Amino acid sequence: MAKETKGFCNDCGMPSIYHVQTWLDELTDRFLQCLPPFKKLELFFGVLLEKFFIFFKLASLRDDFTSSDIQLKSTCFINEAQKRGIKFKALYGPFGYTNHFRAEINGKFFRFESLPIADFASQRKIQMVDDKEWTKRRLKKGNFPVADGKAFWFWQRKKAVEFGVQLGFPLVVKPRSGSVSRHVTTNIQNIDELKRAIDKAIIYSPTFIVEKFIPDTFVYRATVVDFNFVACVKQIAANVTGDGILTIKQLIDKKNNDSRRGEPSQKEFTLYEIVENETLKKTLREKAYNFSTIPQKGEIVYLQKDPFLKLGGDLVEVTSQLHSDNIQLFRDIARFFDIRLVGIDFLAQNISNSWKNQPCAVLELNSAPCIELHHFPSSGAPQNVAGAVVDLFLKYYL
pLDDT in tens, 75-88: 999 999 999 999 99
Same domain for 300 and 343: no
- The crossing angle, in degrees rounded to 10, of helices 18-32 and 191-204 is 90
pTM of the predicted protein model: 0.88
**Which structural domain, as residue segments, surrounds residue 226?**
122-147+214-237+306-384
Question: 167: helix, coil or strand?
Answer: helix
Amino acid at 279: T
Asked whether residue 58 is assigned to any structural domain, the reply reads yes
pLDDT attached to residue 215: 93
The residue among 277 and 38 whose pLDDT is bigger is: 277
Same domain for 71 and 96: yes
Same domain for 74 and 102: yes
Asked whether residue 324 is assigned to any structural domain, the reply reads yes
Q: What are phi and psi of 123, to 5 degrees?
A: -85, -15
Same domain for 316 and 353: yes
Same domain for 322 and 360: yes
pLDDT attached to residue 27: 72
Asked whether residue 349 is assigned to any structural domain, the reply reads yes
How many residues are given for the chain?
Answer: 398
Residues 311-330: pLDDT tens digits? 999 999 999 999 999 999 99
Angstrom distance (rounded) from CA 173 to CA 200: 9
What radius of gyration, in Å, describes the C-alpha atoms of the chain?
A: 21
Question: 97: helix, coil or strand?
Answer: strand
Same domain for 312 and 361: yes
Same domain for 370 and 256: no
Q: pLDDT band at 128, cuts 50/70/90?
A: confident
- The crossing angle, in degrees rounded to 10, of helices 72-82 and 385-397 is 70
Asked whether residue 247 is assigned to any structural domain, the reply reads yes
Residue 114: C-alpha distances to residues 5, 91, 97, 217 (Å): 25, 11, 12, 31
Mean pLDDT value of segment 112-140: 90
Q: How many CB atoms lie within 10 A of CB 68?
A: 13
CATH number at residue 317: 3.30.470.20
Asked whether residue 370 is assigned to any structural domain, the reply reads yes
Number of domains in the chain: 3
Angstrom distance (rounded) from CA 210 to CA 132: 11
Asked whether residue 300 is assigned to any structural domain, the reply reads yes
Angstrom distance (rounded) from CA 342 to CA 100: 19
Same domain for 143 and 49: no
